[in-house]
Structure 1
Amino acid sequence: MYTVGGQRILVVDAQVHVWDASPHNQAIPDGEAYATDLLRRHRELDGAGVPPHEAERVSEQSLTRDVFGAGHVDRAVLQPVVLGDLFVLGFSPLEWHAEMAGWMPGRFVLSGELDPGGGQPGARGLGPRVRRFDLRGLTLCERHRPRGWQRLDDPWLRRTLGRAAAGGADVVHLGVGPSTLPAPWRREFGGPAPPPGAALRRPPRVPRWAEPVQAGSALPVRTRAAERVAPAGFDPAQFRDLARALPHVRFVLGAGCLPERRLLRLAELPNVHVLLTEILPWIGSEDFAHAFGALLRAFGADRLLFGSGYPLVRPGRLVRELAAYRFPDHLRHRYPRFDTSAKRVVLGDNAARLYRIGRPLPSAAAGA
């Protein structure tokens, strides 16, 4: 447990992935292009001292050391992302998460996956998976190559989410997952500078010779150039109808899933929460102060969740900097006070309440 203002607080990282972007798992060329761009973002945000092979593939050793070893994080929520068209064995599937949770009991909460574009047949077997893996939530994302848009108005989706919530998976994540594109918040605020020490490098081109060829032919299987994978977009009006129809479901949106104004309007829905992963790497910049302050004012501290997006960013620095964060003097009058009580709920209590996580036994805490 971490100490903030003399108080020991529970820290829950609400976005962690166990992914494998290593070359043997890439479906060339698109998988290689995605992995190259994702690892470039990792180097920009938190690449100091991380061997490339550990950024490509998460192991039990690296997860234990980077997430739990420093004593900053007590529990973590594993978010799946399959991307079956880009990775041969899947990028970050539920089955790997369940295996990791079995090796490290008491550390993780599992979230499942549901593809809104897969139709009702794609939801078959979801109920047994919820019970088998004790899923506390569902991540809405496409199992294959994202097309950049998700429909949320199909009646089957509403029914499926309602049944999953009745079975225990009553948290729905939308716009939560690793992406090779910057969050809309950065574009609106003009783009804050990267953290100190970040390396700015242009991603290397995927070599033409690496494209697979059809059997007996020199023609590449894919003639379309690989594109960056953006977070799936959605219609806020469709989402608003879905959230109102399922008031007992808690929806968690990524801080970068919508432009600022559209996201803030959804604060009127009491069952909508925001995961801060996409803006946390820029703690200390004025752009972060405006983005975080706007979310704090609209949603309140009780509906904001801490997340690192590990292994994109290791959580230790983010925990320390958020626990010590104060708005710049010239902005304090514009935004609500972010005191010790607010830090406690954002860093862990909100996620513990949503995902039904018990508090760990007292242990040696790190100072803040």
Structure 2
Amino acid sequence: MYEKDGEKYFVVDSHCHFWDAARENWVEGREQYAKGWIDCFYGYHQLGPPETHWDWEKFLKVSADDFERDMFVEGHVDVAVFQSTYLKEWYAEGFNTIEQNGRLVDRFGDRLIVNGRFDPRDGDAGLRQFEQDHAKYGFTGIKLYTAEWNGDSRGFKLTDPECYRFLEKAQELGVKNVHVHKGPTIWPLDKDAFDVADVDHAATDFQGLNFIVEHVGLPRIEDFCFMAVQEPNVYAGLSVVIGGLMHARPKFFAKVMGELLFWVGEDKMLYGGDYNIWTPKWQVEGLVDWQMPDEEQFSDYPRLTTASKKKILGLNAAKLYDIPVPEECRLPETTAGEPMAPGEELVDDVAGAQA
């Protein structure tokens, strides 16, 4: 929990990892891809404040003690959501598998939520593995990497018929939160495989699922926003937005946050620190302190309130994952009014921004 100026913030980090990029885990003959991947991550790491930078060797693989200190002791995080990313084409035991993540559950208890994953290109065997993983871990969320390599394939779409079979299974099992990496590419993956168009289609067809678009489709922020405002079950995952832009590109950060606040709204934005690309402490503290700049170019964007920041930092994710929130961190209950007509919310937002 983070407290500032008498306000208490319940922090849910909805996007973090516990990866193994150590040399011993690199697939023989594909070392250039394993190294290239983690080197690209390390480049993003440099976008944080200089005092938070690690040396490359530490970045390859952190310990459980490192994770606990960085996240729960110093990082203000109350609950962390592990996102599983396999990459077994380059990492022999996987980069960040559900088994690796699951081993920490006994240590951290209800402070840690482990998400599963699937790859529709694995066919019937993959579907059986997905069911087995769910039976063992009981996850309610998954992470999908549509640009991940699998044999000769260099990506899939959520709209692929085989993917629909897996999404139907997820819905049947009660897995309701689908985190989809749709943002900056990481070498050697293909940027076009991260396009957000397939989310639009799938979100309409699976309205019982919540689609959390990680990294908000960057650099396609306009594409994402104009899609997400139409789909009530599409959410903005702020990993990379905060860690990659708040310190290194403050004006671009303000633009991205402004677009998200105007189109998507503060009720559908989720904080993600993207550990261990970045540590959460400076991100949480920075977002609590941050205000939209006063320059004319930002004048038509909504402003963040304390309540807005509490929602984004934890309350929105807590609602999606049914996480109990301490009473002192909750917001006052509000009474819902009449349903809005299509476009009414945007009209109200414009009026508020111009007032």
TM-score normalised according to structure 2 size: 0.81
The question of whether the paired residues in 2 share the 8 Å contact of 1:34 and 1:180 is answered with no
Match status 1:104 vs 2:70: no
Q: Give, in angstroms, the shift of residue 234 of structure 1.
A: 4.8
In structure 2, do the counterparts of structure 1 residues 271 and 312 end up closer, same or farther at CA, with 3 Å as the change threshold?
same
> Could you say which residue in structure 2 is the equivalent of 1:337?
303
Write the distance in 1 (CA, Å) between the matches of 2:327 and 2:67: 21
The question of whether the paired residues in 1 share the 8 Å contact of 2:267 and 2:311 is answered with yes
> Could you say which residue in structure 1 is the equivalent of 2:132?
128
In structure 2, do the counterparts of structure 1 residues 91 and 231 end up closer, same or farther at CA, with 3 Å as the change threshold?
farther
Write the distance in 1 (CA, Å) between the matches of 2:90 and 2:50: 23
| Matched ranges for 1:205-354 at <5 A | 228-230=188-190, 233-234=193-194, 236-258=196-218, 259-267=220-228, 268-281=230-243, 282-283=245-246, 285-330=250-295, 331=297, 333-354=299-320
Higher relative contact order (CA 8 A, sep 6+): 1
Higher mean C-alpha deviation, range 43-52 or range 286-295: 43-52
Query: What RMSD, in angstroms, separates the aligned Cα atoms of the two structures?
Result: 2.5
In structure 2, do the counterparts of structure 1 residues 151 and 328 end up closer, same or farther at CA, with 3 Å as the change threshold?
same
The question of whether the paired residues in 2 share the 8 Å contact of 1:275 and 1:307 is answered with yes
The question of whether the paired residues in 2 share the 8 Å contact of 1:165 and 1:171 is answered with no
The question of whether the paired residues in 1 share the 8 Å contact of 2:12 and 2:313 is answered with yes
Matched residue type, 2:12: V
**What do residues 188-207 of structure 1 show as CA deviations (whole Å, max 9, x unaligned)?**
xxxxxxxxxxxxxxxxxxxx
Write the distance in 2 (CA, Å) between the matches of 1:32 and 1:236: 27
Write the distance in 2 (CA, Å) between the matches of 1:286 and 1:269: 28
Report the count of equivalent residues.
Answer: 317
Unpaired segments ≥5 residues, structure 1 = 182-226, 364-368
Matched residue type, 2:226: R
Unpaired segments ≥5 residues, structure 2 = 330-355
SS where residue 273 of structure 1 aligns?
strand
SS where residue 142 of structure 2 aligns?
strand
Write the distance in 2 (CA, Å) between the matches of 1:10 and 1:261: 30
In structure 2, do the counterparts of structure 1 residues 88 and 343 end up closer, same or farther at CA, with 3 Å as the change threshold?
same
> Could you say which residue in structure 1 is the equivalent of 2:342?
none
**What do residues 202-248 of structure 1 show as CA deviations (whole Å, max 9, x unaligned)?**
xxxxxxxxxxxxxxxxxxxxxxxxx5335672554432221111111
TM-score normalised according to structure 1 size: 0.79
SS where residue 45 of structure 1 aligns?
coil
> Could you say which residue in structure 2 is the equivalent of 1:359?
325
Higher mean C-alpha deviation, range 307-316 or range 63-72: 63-72
Write the distance in 1 (CA, Å) between the matches of 2:113 and 2:197: 30
Matched residue type, 1:247: Q
> Could you say which residue in structure 1 is the equivalent of 2:348?
none
Write the distance in 2 (CA, Å) between the matches of 1:314 and 1:271: 29
> Could you say which residue in structure 2 is the equivalent of 1:160?
166
In structure 2, do the counterparts of structure 1 residues 255 and 37 end up closer, same or farther at CA, with 3 Å as the change threshold?
closer
SS where residue 19 of structure 1 aligns?
coil
The question of whether the paired residues in 2 share the 8 Å contact of 1:77 and 1:109 is answered with yes
Q: Give, in angstroms, the shift of residue 352 of structure 1.
A: 0.7
| Matched ranges for 1:16-31 at <5 A | 16-27=16-27, 28-31=31-34
Higher mean C-alpha deviation, range 237-246 or range 150-159: 150-159
The question of whether the paired residues in 2 share the 8 Å contact of 1:138 and 1:171 is answered with yes
Write the distance in 1 (CA, Å) between the matches of 2:35 and 2:151: 13
Sequence identity percentage: 28
SS where residue 96 of structure 2 aligns?
coil
Higher mean C-alpha deviation, range 151-160 or range 334-343: 151-160
Write the distance in 1 (CA, Å) between the matches of 2:48 and 2:153: 26
Q: Give, in angstroms, the shift of residue 30 of structure 1.
A: 1.9
Write the distance in 2 (CA, Å) between the matches of 1:146 and 1:276: 31
The question of whether the paired residues in 1 share the 8 Å contact of 2:212 and 2:236 is answered with yes
Higher mean C-alpha deviation, range 325-334 or range 57-66: 325-334
Write the distance in 2 (CA, Å) between the matches of 1:322 and 1:86: 35
| Matched ranges for 1:24-103 at <5 A | 24-27=24-27, 28-45=31-48, 48=51, 50-70=54-74, 72-103=76-107
Write the distance in 2 (CA, Å) between the matches of 1:265 and 1:150: 23
| Greater share of helix | 2
Write the distance in 2 (CA, Å) between the matches of 1:244 and 1:100: 35
Write the distance in 1 (CA, Å) between the matches of 2:150 and 2:160: 19
In structure 2, do the counterparts of structure 1 residues 77 and 44 end up closer, same or farther at CA, with 3 Å as the change threshold?
same
In structure 2, do the counterparts of structure 1 residues 176 and 309 end up closer, same or farther at CA, with 3 Å as the change threshold?
farther
The question of whether the paired residues in 2 share the 8 Å contact of 1:111 and 1:136 is answered with yes
**What do residues 102-143 of structure 1 show as CA deviations (whole Å, max 9, x unaligned)?**
222121111111113334442223223223212121111237
